[in-house]
Amino acid sequence: MEKQLEIKNISYKYDKELVLKNINLEIKKASFLVLLGLNGAGKSTLFALITRLLKIQSGDIYIDSFHISDYKNALKNIGIVFQEPTLDLDLSVKQNLVFSGSLKGLSFKETMDSIKEEIKTLDLEEKLNVKVRSLNGGHRRRVEILRALINSPKLLLLDEATSGLDIKSRYEIIAYIKGLVEKRGISVLWITHLFDEIDNNDEVAIIKKGEIISTGLAKDLIKENNMDSLTQVFESLTK
């Protein structure tokens, strides 16, 4: 199966501190991968490298077979949901969406057409003309995800996308994202520190102090380590 994202031998230093150590990771097309680690493990640094917020120091990253340095081709088919909210609170939902579309060179019609079905699925039809400031946390996250889906990306990158949400909202968002993988063939990198967001059939990469220490289906990692849960596996591997 072809790779949608390939990370090869990535290392990164802040000053003299090595925070990523020879990271190798790949996401196949139409698949869902969880990057699991504690705060400070290096998850957000890796996310910043993939999205070009940080410049690669060592190693290579390929998106849809294009090197990350080929900005025009590598990043044209990705959608991004950052950990920190980035919506303009004083604009309406629709204005936020149209502005993001314009940054991608899309007209109003092209922007709205590209997300027409997802607006319905995310139950945001009645919220389009509402200022973001008036929305609750769950709806704001839905808008950020909707914005990331403008122009039908092939790769969706989400950094702690459910941070601060209640359990119901978190599970609804996870179910929706997994549905995109099945329905639209999108590839997803889901970055989290929350174990209850991971299903036994999810592919997981565990990161500790800047190193990928274990990868595989959650259920296989549990079996291989003779544990009862992924939480136990994680605690055992990260002691």
Q: What does the alpha-carbon distance between residue 85 and residue 141 come to, in Å, rounded to a whole number?
A: 8
What per-residue confidence (pLDDT) applies to 199? 94
Distances (CA, A) of 33 to 111, 157, 219: 28, 10, 14
- In this prediction, residue 71 has a pLDDT band, given cuts at 50, 70 and 90, of confident
Cross-strand partners of 205: 35, 215
Q: What does the alpha-carbon distance between residue 82 and residue 84 come to, in Å, rounded to a whole number?
A: 5
What per-residue confidence (pLDDT) applies to 85? 86
Return the amino acid letter for 126: E
Q: What does the alpha-carbon distance between residue 115 and residue 112 come to, in Å, rounded to a whole number?
A: 5
Contact call for residues 209 and 41 (beta carbons, < 8 A): yes
Contact call for residues 188 and 180 (beta carbons, < 8 A): yes
Which of 42-48's residues contact partners 24+ apart within 8 Å by CB, and which partners? 42/12, 42/207, 42/209, 42/210, 42/211, 43/159, 43/191, 43/193, 43/207, 44/83, 44/159, 44/191, 45/12, 45/19, 45/20, 45/210, 46/7, 46/10, 46/20, 46/207, 47/157, 47/159, 47/189, 47/191
Q: What does the alpha-carbon distance between residue 191 and residue 172 come to, in Å, rounded to a whole number?
A: 16
Whether residue 192 is predicted with pLDDT greater than 90 in this model: the reply is yes
Sheet holding 211-217, edge to edge: 78-81, 155-159, 187-192, 32-36, 203-208, 211-217
Domains of the chain are: 3-77+153-237 (3.40.50.300), 87-152 (no CATH)
- Over the chain, what is the mean pLDDT? 94
Q: What does the alpha-carbon distance between residue 87 and residue 108 come to, in Å, rounded to a whole number?
A: 18
Mean pLDDT along residues 183-189: 95
% of the chain residues with pLDDT over 90: 87
How many residues are given for the chain?
Answer: 239
- Which residues touch 69 (CB under 8 Å, ≥6 apart)? 56
Mean pLDDT along residues 119-147: 95
Which pair of structure tokens corresponds to residue 61?
A: 């990253």
What per-residue confidence (pLDDT) applies to 164? 85
Whether residue 36 is predicted with pLDDT greater than 90 in this model: the reply is yes
